[in-house]
Amino acid sequence: MAKQTVEAMIEGGKATAAPPLGPALGPLGVNIGQVISEINKKTIAFKGVQVPVKIIVDEDKNITITVGTPPASALIKQEAHIEKGSGNPEADLIADIKIEQVIKIAKMKGDDLSGKTMFDKVKEVAGTCNSMGVMIEGKRAVESIADINNHAYDAEIKAEKTELSAEELKELEEKKQKLAADIEKRKAEFTATAKSIIESMAGQPRGSIKAKLIEAKVPTTIIEELLPVEAAAAKPGEAPAAGKPAAEKK
C-alpha cells in the first residue's frame, strides 16, 4: 500500500474520532484513538484556534503527524482575547498584550516566520500586532519594536519567557475593556460631529459634505454610514432603483 495522507483542520487539543478525522482514518487500519491522542498532544498549545493537521500512514502502518500553525494574526487574537483586529489601527487600539505573549506566538510559529533569530521573530510578530491595533506592554507595537531594538526585553527573549501571572492576565483584560470603552466614546463623539456637519450642510453636494467630514477627521466608516451614496439619476421612463429615492428635479 502506498503512503496514505489525511489532512484536516481541527481545533487545537480537541480532535475527536468524529468527522473529519474518524471516517478518514478508519479505512487505513490504524489505531484511531492513539492517533487522536497524539494530535491533541501536538496541538494543545493552539487551544481555541483551528490548525492544519496532516497524518501520513505508510505501508507498514507507521504514522507521521505534522501540525501547521495558524497565521500570526489568529494567535494574536487568541492571546488578546479579541474576535478581530482594529478596523482603524492608527486611531483605535483595541487590546494590550505582554512581551511574553509575543514571545509565545513567535515560538509557536517557529520556522514559519522569516526571522532567523528569536529577536527577529518577536519583532515580526510585533509588526503584525501593530497592523491589528494591538499594543505591547502598554505602547503601540511599533514603539515596542524600537524597545526590542534598544535591548529593553533582552532577558525575556533570551530566556524565551512565555508565562504570565493571573494578576497580569487580569490587568490585560481590564485594559482591553477600557480601550473598548474609549473607542465607543470616540465613536459617539465623531458620530455627533458628523451629524451636526451633515445637518448644517443639508442640500449641498455630497462631495462637499464628505470633504468637510474628512477635514473634521471623521472616520470613513462613520462617513459611509451617515452619508449615503447619492442615487444615480434614473433614465427617462425608468423608476429609481429599489430602496433609492429618485434624483431631485432642478
Q: How confident is the model at residue 12 (pLDDT cuts 50, 70, 90)?
A: confident
Based on the domain organization, do 63 and 86 belong to the same domain?
Answer: no
Set of cell numbers at residue 234:
434614473
pLDDT at 230: 54
pLDDT at 48: 78
CATH assignment at residue 125: 1.10.10.250
How big is the CA angle at 168 (ends 164 and 171), to the nearest 5 degrees?
150
35 lies in a domain? yes
87-137 residue pLDDT tens:
889 889 999 999 999 999 999 888 889 999 999 999 999 999 999 999 999
- Residue 47 contacts residue 13 (beta carbons within 8 Å): yes
Averaged pLDDT for residues 21-40? 92
21 lies in a domain? yes
Total domains, the chain: 3
- Residue 225 contacts residue 198 (beta carbons within 8 Å): no
Based on the domain organization, do 186 and 140 belong to the same domain?
Answer: no
The DSSP bridge pattern shows strands 95-97 and 134-136 to be parallel
Domain range for 12 is 4-67
Averaged pLDDT for residues 210-218? 92
Its pTM stands at 0.63
pLDDT at 67: 87
Question: CA 201 to CA 191: how far, in whole Å?
Answer: 15
